[in-house]
Every structure is written in C-alpha cells, then in structure tokens.
Amino acid sequence: MSENAGGCCRCCCSFIFTLGLTSLFMWLSLRTSNPKCSIEGFYLPALDKSSNNRNNTTLQFQLKLENTNKDKGVYYDDVNVTVYDFPNRSHIIGTSVIGRFYQGHKKTAHKNGTAPTDQKVVSRAVFANGSAVFRVDLVTAVRFKIIAWKTKRHKIAVGADVEVNVNGTKVNKKNIKLSSSGSNNVSYYCCCVGILLYFFVLIFA
C-alpha cells in the first residue's frame, strides 16, 4: 500500500515538474521585446551658420530600428515622427511618416526621413548662442511574427530631446536612444504571466 502511495507521489511530483518546465518554456518562446529605436542623424539646414543654403527649411533625420528578438519578425505600421519645440511641446515644428514595413529577426533597419518645418517656430526655439533643443517623438504599432502566427498590435510611443549646434546637426555624436516614459514593454507583462503560471502549476496542480 505504502509502495503504491510512494509511486503515486513520485508520479505526481514528476508531472508537476514537467508541467512547470513546459510552462516556462512556452513563456520563453512567446515573450517578445519591443524594437530599439534611436536617432542616428538630425540636420536642420536653416540653423547651419556655415551654409549658404539657410533658406532650406526641410529637416533631415535618420532612424535606427533594431529587432532584438532571436526568432520573431516585426511588422511595423506607419512610423510617425513629430518634432516639437523644447521643453513643453507647445508647438509642432514638423512631422514625417515612414511607411509600414517588415523586419526579420535580429535585423536592423536604417530609415531616412524629411519634414518641412515651420521656420518661425524653429527660430523661436534657438538660444542666443545659436544652439537649440528639440523634442522628437516616435509613435507606431507593431505586430510580432511567431512562426506563422501574428500577435495583436502593440503600440510604441517613444521620444528623446535632441540638442542641435550652430551647424544645425545634433551635438551628441552617438545615437540618441528613444525611450518611453510609460510602461509599454510587452515582455514585462509576459514575464509576470509566465512566472505566475509557473508557481500556480507548482502549488495547485
């Protein structure tokens, strides 16, 4: 009798352990990470004191979008870029839209964009020394491709402050990371659900 009970107990423990590992594996397989977004280049010819083409009011910028997921592609909706004066975003300087596209796993996309600007707003944003600071916001929605399945859309809203020198280019030579002030990290929620599911199985199975 005791041998049967011991065997049943070992079987139950083995089942619970296997189910827990399966749940953990599913979480690791399905969790996603939002693309990393940054500004590679930023140039306003109208602020370039060394240029003879200061009547050109078109903003030129370059974005870097990284899909860090090892086995998941990313479908981007239109990528909307808005540039404001600093710091209160009370006036829009210019807007640009980069068309939707697909990005494979572990791939990096470099996207160039232009935006006609309001020169009066730009002029008011310039400091006495000729430099300026602008706010750049990026908004889009992405779907993740997991094998042949697409997830629902996840909104991405990120931004950063960009300091521009007297030549109309960004001061920081390194890429400027666009980050979110809110909690839109999909993987964070997946992590919580996965851990809770794992402990639920261990306790109640």
What pLDDT, in 10s, does the model give residues 143-185? 999 888 899 999 999 999 999 999 999 999 999 999 997 544 4
Give the pLDDT band (50/70/90) at residue 89: confident
Q: Is 111:62 a contact under the CB 8 Å cutoff?
A: yes
Give the phi and the psi of residue 14 in degrees, each rounded to 5. Answer: -65, -40
Tell me: do 4 and 73 sit in the same domain: no
Tell me: do 55 and 147 sit in the same domain: yes
175: which DSSP letter? P
State the number of CA atoms in the 13 A half-sphere of 89 facing the CB. Answer: 9
The residue whose two tokens read 């809770």 is 196
CATH code, domain with 76: 2.60.40
Predicted pLDDT at 147: 85
Tell me: do 117 and 164 sit in the same domain: yes
The residue whose two tokens read 């006036």 is 91
Average pLDDT over residues 54-73: 94
Tell me: do 25 and 49 sit in the same domain: no
Predicted pLDDT at 27: 47
State the number of CA atoms in the 13 A half-sphere of 164 facing the CB. Answer: 32
Tell me: do 162 and 105 sit in the same domain: yes
Tell me which of 4-18, 54-68, 111-125, 175-189 is least confident.
Answer: 4-18
Tell me: do 84 and 145 sit in the same domain: yes
Tell me: do 152 and 189 sit in the same domain: no
Task: Report CA-CA distances (Å) from 8 to 14, 24, 53.
Answer: 10, 24, 83
How many domains does the chain fold into? 2
Q: In terms of pLDDT, which residue wins out, 202 or 148? A: 148
The residue whose two tokens read 């929620």 is 189
Tell me: do 171 and 139 sit in the same domain: yes
100: which DSSP letter? P
Q: Is 113:63 a contact under the CB 8 Å cutoff?
A: yes
Tell me: do 7 and 87 sit in the same domain: no
pTM reported for the whole predicted model: 0.77
Euclidean distance between CA atoms 72 and 178, whole angstroms: 22
Q: In terms of pLDDT, which residue wins out, 103 or 200? A: 103
**Which domain range does residue 21 map to?**
1-33+185-205
Tell me: do 29 and 44 sit in the same domain: no
Average pLDDT over residues 185-195: 52
Tell me: do 26 and 60 sit in the same domain: no
Q: Has residue 26 got a pLDDT over 70? A: no
Average pLDDT over residues 126-143: 95
State the number of CA atoms in the 13 A half-sphere of 157 facing the CB. Answer: 5
Q: Has residue 199 got a pLDDT over 60? A: no
Signed CA dihedral, 86, 89, 95, 101: sign only: positive
- 29-54, pLDDT tens digit by residue? 557 899 999 999 999 999 999 888 77
Predicted pLDDT at 88: 74
Assigned token pair, 101: 């596209």
Give the pLDDT band (50/70/90) at residue 22: low
Tell me: do 67 and 124 sit in the same domain: yes
